[in-house]
Structure 1
Amino acid sequence: MSAPDLFASSVSLSRLGWDDSLAADLPDGLLPARVARVDRGAAEVLTAEGSLQAHYGASVRRAAAADPVALPCVGDWTGLRRLPEGRFELAALLPRRTAFVRGGVGRTSRGGLSGDSQGQVLAANVDIVFIAEPALHATDTADLGRIERLLALAWESGGRPVVLVTKSDLIGDALPHLLEEVAEAAPGVDVHAVCSVTGEGVDIVRGHLDGRHTAVVLGASGAGKSTLVNALAGEEIMETQRVRAGDGRGRHTTVHRELIRLPGGGLIIDTPGIRRIGLYDMGEGVDLAFSDIEDLAAECRFADCSHRAEPGCAVIAAIEDGTLPERRLVSWHKLRREAAWMASRSDPRLRKELQNRWKTIHKEMRKPGRIRP
């Protein structure tokens, strides 16, 4: 099939998210395809012809060797070249509109921060980032720190974050309090209770896809991500396992990321459970995830207030009057410190400045009555 013939099937391609701006980025002579699943050196891609396998071309391999972020990822739009023997080669990676990138998962340095400046793209060209956090009857609480970390990465990706409190049937009357707690950790973000078994909230989740958007579901193992995908699809597409007796947690079953087209429109990417969530190349992600602190900081007496012990600090005042949880400020300090550390990995001058600054801060922190980062 020639390139003009393929573009004639615009209805099929548009259901995958293809549009004129993407067509403008496609190199001449290549066929458009969207990555549904990746393997070593190859990808399963969706095209107007259907699903097919494509091996990485030389230019794609070279780019990925220089920077792992350039590896093809689920959700990517690519250009395919048909080889004489009939096989397809993934010859080009189109520019990403959005990309959810976490820091390297290699060794760690002192303090638990990532010692690897490389990143890993978990999903590309997504409009919505669903952050799944399970409601567990054993604790009646959520991992707010994990939610905040994922929110920072979601905002940085360029997608719109939405927090889903999954397995909401497990928590009973404590659900309203839990939703309030999660909403406090996610200012400006939609928070929904979802139970994929009973169907509660599934239509709300489907509404975010709007029949044309692409979403990724992220969260820890056992958060109910695959069960939610099955509920949205109306059939068992992803394998799931029953929750364990005693703590309500599911066992991890998804071992790969996969792009799934939903029958009612829209696409969704299911992902394995994330154990380690390192920050990577942060710009405004942390600030957007902590917009409540940023708003308060604008009222501080000093423009460079660190929100630890300075007079006239509006953030400390909010903690003292109970309008801002101290836990939230501690989390903000931690993520900002990690983001600065990751930035310093590729900048020796910045790394030295950061080390000197933290020596001064640590001396101050040993004094009584200070807010610890």
Structure 2
Amino acid sequence: MRQNLSAEEALEAILERARPIAELEHLPLTAAFGRTLGADLAAKVNHPQTNDTAVDGYACREADSHTAQPDSPVRLRVIGVSPAGRPFEGRVGPGEAVQVFTGAPIPPGADAVVRVEDTRREGDFVWLLKPATPSDIRPQGTDLTEGKTYLFKGDRLTPGRVALAAAMGHASLPVVRRPRVGILVTGDEVVEPGQPLPYGGVYNANGYALTGLVAEAGGEPIPLGRAHDDIEGLRARLAQAGPLDLLLTSGGVSMGDYDIVRQLVEREGEVHFWRVRIQPGGPLLFATWRGLPLLGLPGNPVSTMVTFLLFGRPLLFRLLGRSDPPYQQVEAVAETPFEAHPTRRAYRRAVLRWEKGEYRAASTGNQSSVVLHSMALGNALVAVEAGASKGVGEVLLAIPFPEN
């Protein structure tokens, strides 16, 4: 069993054992938002389907309009009207024009458009005050070319990408099945919110934090409740979980007699590593139990959330085959001091904001791993290398929290 890994070594060990999910689901467009595309997607049509107008105006022959000026306008006969979706069926000849509206196909014979604000209408005729131009014609396939791939396996389906898929002619999309992630909280002291809190008890914040974090990262959270501090109870709780792709546990991974998660996987599984040189979250454990990847997160609430963001979220992205990075990293200027740990990289909670062309970061205050409100007040982690505290005005590395 490897111990005391760096954050980079720990993440590498986790990701090298992650096997992307191959199972796909086909969902209608309305159900595909936020999911991960499971295959490359090509356009079924051209867009625009034909040359069309980008403006309201009149389609005509450019040669008929090149002398048009406000003081010497050119008169053309209007032979028809073409709104979007109702193409003009005739042909534009010399001295003729068709009134067109944005999105309407350019009628045969026309090769230019004059904007409506550059015309004056008189009955069946229109006076052109400026020359018509081809620049307001959108050529066929300007946006999409039939057969060309525009969306790729691993893309997260944002509203813009779902809209693009719809424009490409797809009514349903192949998406990667959501990873089923079991969430198990351990500890005799843990009580569900709403129940009377006994002396020495704590409410179950970690289970709900992980449920939200897993869902935001694209997984399907499977709450498994709480396991008491005994191995038989833990084993029984896990046996009821059903098929999972990943098991997250909170608590029970340190060195005490009641750290049952570590004891269980040491006896019945394979521990790939234990402990990482970070603060908070040092007692992180990664193991395989009965073929199931198990990420054992520390029990303090901040430690649980920080280690999920740094290690659990990248693991879920790998299972989904997502092509985007699991988190961003930006440089920021410190507005408050950020204290280092002497031997570990510290991840401090911060409020990150953009001001005058740069990011600025201020501490949320008390950085203890039991101060959960720092995760509610803050919107980023600040990485402070071991022994290298950051003072006001110094540049540091910040990791913004994912947007919920």
Instruction: Name which one, 1 or 2, has greater alpha-carbon Rg.
Output: 2
Q: Which has the higher contact order (CA 8 A, sep 6+)?
A: 2
Same fold? TM cut 0.5 = no
More strand by share: 2
> TM-score range with shorter-chain normalisation?
under 0.3
Using the size of structure 1 for normalisation, the TM-score is 0.28
More helix by share: 1
